[in-house]
Amino acid sequence: MPAGIENPAPRKTRAYLTKQWLDEVTAGTEKGIRDTYAWKDAVKRLGLKETRRRLRLGLLANQIAVENPEN
């Protein structure tokens, strides 16, 4: 068997995808976009809590797709 199959390379860890890291990224992103029409409209339609939740999920989805090519 080829060496790559017998001894596969270790996978990258996802240690940076912690709750604290995601909270910081979400807060920074919100700070940068809170004056935009899109943010204000989303808050008006969905409420602040739901808008923040969707922003957080969107950021998380983007990070996983970029950092994990197996998805």
Tens-digit pLDDT string for the chain (71 aa):
455 555 555 555 555 678 888 899 999 999 999 999 999 999 999 999 999 999 999 988 877 655 555 55
Q: Cα–Cα distances in Å, from 42 out to 6, 14, 34, 53, 67?
A: 51, 30, 10, 11, 28
Residue 9 CA, distance from chain mean position = 25
How much is the pLDDT for 35?
96
pLDDT at 18: 82
Residue the block writes with tokens 């270790």: 10
Q: State the pLDDT at residue 7.
A: 54
Q: How far is CA 69 from CA 14, 23, 28, in A?
A: 13, 24, 26
pLDDT given for residue 61 in this prediction: 81
User: pLDDT value at position 59?
Assistant: 87
Q: Which residue has the tokens 């739901």?
A: 50
> pTM for this structure?
0.65
Phi, psi for 18 (deg, rounded to 5): -90, 165
